[in-house]
Amino acid sequence: MQHPNNKRIDAGLLGKIVLARFLELPLRAIDRLVTQAESSTGFAVLRPWVTVGQLQGAQVAHDVVARPQTGTPQTQTSPVLGKIHEVNQDLIFLYHSDSYAREYRFDEEGVNLLMSKPDFPAELAGILRRLRLINTRNRLTHALMQAVLASQAAYLRSGQALALLPLTQAEISARLRSESNLVVVADPGRISRLVRVLSIALPNGEVKPLGGLFPKPRQVHCHFVDHVIKREKAWMLQGVLREPLTDEAIAAILELEYGIRLLRRTVANIRHDLAIPDCRSRSQRMNYLAATEGFSALLPLTSHALRTAVPAQPGVYEIRAALGSPVSVAKEGWLEKSAPPGPHSIVYIGSTGDLRKRLGDHLRGNSDNELLYNHLADGAARVRFRLISEGWRWAERDLYRVFCETFGTPPLCNRMSP
């Protein structure tokens, strides 16, 4: 909101914008801001009115290392927020840095009196604002983690995708606003900004983007359809099945065994999303599902995911992009139907000696494949991969061949066969 006679932004709106951007900062930036603030001369001036503490109920795993030159201990910073532990059948969350659980307590009367002085330095006002932003972010993060521990306990204990419950960010927002004594407004937009930059470690050590703990019902149904089709292989080997399951049969199993009611058409759509062929194609000796066995779970193709979940090792990979061709692609006459159907179509298959670097090149448009970059530009692309120490180029050729056999066409952005 702007005042009619000038271009100054309303103070309340400006504060919301600043907070929104602060919530999107990566963890290392937060740790750096906390360190800089607490080591500044301005902070020393404010110490009579500011107490450094820790969020109530928060616990920190102190991996102590020596601070360079000084030799004094410090907590090891980490791009992962923390790790979940199970203690006496209870789940607890241990933060990886004191900065992530930091809370500053103010003598508000003294601070207000100090700020009312005409010669109050602007530098101190800036430090106070930064400390309050750190408080707001850490309080919201801590409340969010406690809600996640309660809501997804079965999945967090087991790490099994079938234990994951549908949970939207809007539902968590409503729960935090109604159940917690959180002084911050936990609206879905703020939660969304936090979730997209945070990752946590499960009890088994596996690192997961926090956003993965907020699946929509459709995403949960994908796990179950995938699970049934994977069981199909074992049933055929055991002689329980003579041929692969139809979509109608899959729907019947889901309702009978898991209480999930899906239409046959919904099962077919999910199967397409997962790049799983129909029952007729699956009856062939080799298909794309079998060729991609052992691949990682789908990850968002973002800089954060590349840093935290993709190793700098050789392997083969598959990139999926959202439906709807970019304008530049449409002008060239490419049709989306040339990729397998589904909300996320497989548009590229590749291999490399360094997955993290190569995928980063694709993401930044440095791989000399403008068509692929156009499909990644909206930030909705996903990737999965399999590590292969030797012969990864041959693995790519096999995967590419099976893809063409299964879907009758090469991936949209592969300009030539490998």
pLDDT at 8: 67
pLDDT at 15: 81
Q: Of the ranges 28-42, 221-235, 339-353, 374-388, which one carries the lowest mean pLDDT score?
A: 339-353
Residue 284 has what DSSP assignment? S
CB atoms within 10 A of CB 287: 20
pLDDT at 242: 81
pLDDT at 332: 36
Rounded mean pLDDT, 197-218: 90
pLDDT tens, 252-296? 999 999 999 999 999 999 998 887 888 887 776 456 777 888 899
pLDDT at 138: 95
CB atoms within 10 A of CB 216: 12
What are the phi and psi torsion angles at 293 (to 5°)? -65, 135
Amino acid identity, position 6: N
pLDDT at 74: 45
Per the DSSP assignment, residues forming a β-bridge with 344 are 322
pLDDT at 275: 79
Q: What is each CA distance from 266 to 162, 298, 324, in whole angstroms?
A: 18, 20, 20
Question: Is the pLDDT at 83 greater than 90, yes or no?
Answer: yes
pLDDT at 337: 33
- Hey, what domains does the chain have and what are their CATH numbers? 11-213 (no CATH), 217-283 (1.10.10), 299-407 (3.40.1440.10)
As a whole number, the mean pLDDT across the chain is 84
Confidence band, pLDDT 50/70/90 cuts, at residue 390: confident
pLDDT at 73: 42
Confidence band, pLDDT 50/70/90 cuts, at residue 65: very low
pLDDT at 342: 40
Q: Residue 113 and residue 135: Cα distance in Å, rounded? A: 21
Residue 240 near residue 253, CB atoms below 8 Å: no
Rounded mean pLDDT, 156-164: 90
Question: Is the pLDDT at 72 greater than 50, yes or no?
Answer: no
Single out the residue of 181, 185, 191, 186 nearest to residue 213, CA to CA: 191
pLDDT at 341: 39
Question: Is the pLDDT at 81 greater than 80, yes or no?
Answer: yes
Confidence band, pLDDT 50/70/90 cuts, at residue 68: very low
pLDDT tens, 161-200? 899 999 988 999 998 888 767 888 888 999 999 998 899 9
Give percent above pLDDT 70 in the chain: 87
Residue 37 near residue 130, CB atoms below 8 Å: yes
pLDDT at 323: 56
Confidence band, pLDDT 50/70/90 cuts, at residue 331: very low
